[in-house]
Amino acid sequence: MSNITVMPDRSAGTPATPAGRERRRQRRPRKPINTQFRTAVSPHQLNTTRGRIIYWIVLVIVVVSFTAAFVFPLYWMVTGAMKSTEELNAIPPTFLPSHFSLDGYLEAWDLLGLGTLLGNTALYAGGAWLLTLAVDVSAAYALSKLRPALGKVVLALMLSTLMIPPMVIMLPAYLTVKEVPIFGWNLLNTPWAIWLPAAANGFNVFLLKRFFDSIPRELLEAAEIDGASPGRILWSVVIPISRPILGVVSILTVVNVWRDFVWPLLVLPDSDKMSVSIGIASLSSQMPQNVLVASLVIASIPTIVVFFLFQRHIMAGLTAGSLKG
């Protein structure tokens, strides 16, 4: 805002010559580049003729290079699945598939059993979501609002798991799944092998507790005076006002389970229990290239759709993760 008032004073220090400014004033007024947010580039320089030219050149370069780097591979993937093996091997490559057909996708669906794999993954992600919310929300609530004895120690122990790189404890965690101590259950090839470890997520507890800490005490005390039990307060007061953070935790959990590779690789070795990433990876060497590529497209559709729908939550989760504390 303030830079609008400062701008006229600054014109002396900018490279725009008075002559250039005269000429511009005579032409039809151009819409100035929006300089509402002041950044490293001076808003005044940006709106000189030279500044505009540079700005548009940079913009075009960035848009083109980003599209080439991040969209083109995906385009190549989607169209590659429509090409025959001969066409894929052809030199020079064809930019558009010679004929539009979804046969590659149908073949991939049948050959890799993608229906089963996607169903499995949805089951793992959905169950992990429910269990994580139930377990981590009630834990964070207890630590934030009920404040039991040793609560600080419990919280510190939970947060300490954030310091342990997950890959390093993957072998002993695998042994736990293979034979749960005390109970002696074998959870390999069951959804519990995904669900239970997903709920043991210190970062979720941290995010939720930090949010619950910001809920004013008076709100809960009012409910308590009305005779509500702690469970009732959690359900009817805390959860309804925590929807933003619940959204972030939900998305993080579902996306993590969906994208995870190493853990399901260890604990779901049965081919009819595999998640979609593992299923495709385990069959990748036996498939013709176009079928494999088609299966990659199908496997990425769910996460891309989730991204389209919940972009804002996902980005909020990202910055919550980085600026912790």
Q: Which of residues 295-314 bind other proteins (CB under 8 A)?
A: 296, 299-300, 303-304, 306-307, 311, 314
Q: How far apart are CA 110 and CA 112, in angstroms?
A: 6
- The interface with other proteins within residues 10-39 (CB under 8 A) comprises 10, 13, 33-35, 37-39
Q: Could you tell me the smallest distance in angstroms from the CB atom of residue 102 to other proteins? A: 19
223, 276, 291, 294: which one contacts other proteins (CB under 8 A)? 276
Contact assessment for residue 113 and residue 282, using Cβ atoms and an 8 Å cutoff: no
| Residue with token string 């997903």 | 198
Contact assessment for residue 142 and residue 148, using Cβ atoms and an 8 Å cutoff: yes
Joined tokens for residue 48: 């000189």
DSSP codes of every residue in 194-217: HHHHHH--HHHHHHHHHHHHTS-H
The contact mask relative to other proteins for 47-66 (x = CB under 8 A, - = no) is --------x--xx--xx--x
Contact assessment for residue 133 and residue 246, using Cβ atoms and an 8 Å cutoff: yes
Contact assessment for residue 248 and residue 207, using Cβ atoms and an 8 Å cutoff: yes
The contact mask relative to other proteins for 201-240 (x = CB under 8 A, - = no) is -x--x-----------------------xxxx-xx-----
Joined tokens for residue 213: 């800490």
125, 280, 291, 294: which one contacts other proteins (CB under 8 A)? 280
Q: Could you tell me the smallest distance in angstroms from the CB atom of residue 207 to other proteins? A: 14
Which of 290, 245, 325, 311 shows the shortest CA–CA distance to 79? 290
The residue range among 90-98, 102-110, 111-119, 213-221 that interacts with other proteins, by the rule CB under 8 A, is 90-98
Q: Is 8 in the site for other proteins (CB under 8 A)?
A: no
Q: Could you tell me the smallest distance in angstroms from the CB atom of residue 5 to other proteins? A: 11
Q: How many residues bind other proteins (CB under 8 A)?
A: 112
115, 119, 151, 244: which one contacts other proteins (CB under 8 A)? 151
Contact assessment for residue 135 and residue 143, using Cβ atoms and an 8 Å cutoff: no
Contact assessment for residue 77 and residue 289, using Cβ atoms and an 8 Å cutoff: no
18, 29, 181, 240: which one contacts other proteins (CB under 8 A)? 181
- The interface with other proteins within residues 243-272 (CB under 8 A) comprises 255, 258-259, 261-262, 266
